[in-house]
């Protein structure tokens, strides 16, 4: 997993924008809900932003059970390969 990747940079940027955080505060092991204070609507907005930025499509089913930034990154990377 590349923590300098375009995917990780995009994920951090979109997440920080939606949640009103500094992009440098976001770490891979963080949980969207408990660590970052996101709710399901925030996560939906983050996904929409990533889809726009990277021109990919993320299914609702693939988001089920998604908890951490690292899990989201793995999902994104699997769609951009």
Question: H-type helices in the chain, by residue range?
Answer: 6-19, 40-54, 60-63, 69-80
Q: Exactly one of 4, 35, 39, 52 is catalytic; which is it? A: 39
Structure tokens at 73: 């990154």
- Residue 52 CA, distance from chain mean position: 12
Q: Report the SS3 class of residue 43.
A: helix
Question: Is 35 a catalytic site residue?
Answer: no
**Would you please indicate which residues are annotated as catalytic (active-site) residues?**
39
């Amino acid at each position: 997993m590349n923590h300098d990747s375009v995917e990780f940079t995009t994920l951090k940027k979109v997440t920080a924008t939606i949640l009103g955080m500094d992009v440098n505060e976001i770490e891979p092991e963080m949980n969207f809900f408990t660590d970052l204070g996101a709710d399901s609507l925030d996560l939906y907005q983050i996904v929409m932003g990533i889809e726009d930025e990277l021109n990919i499509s993320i299914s609702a089913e693939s988001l089920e059970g998604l908890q951490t930034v690292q899990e989201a990154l793995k999902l994104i990377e699997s769609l951009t390969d």
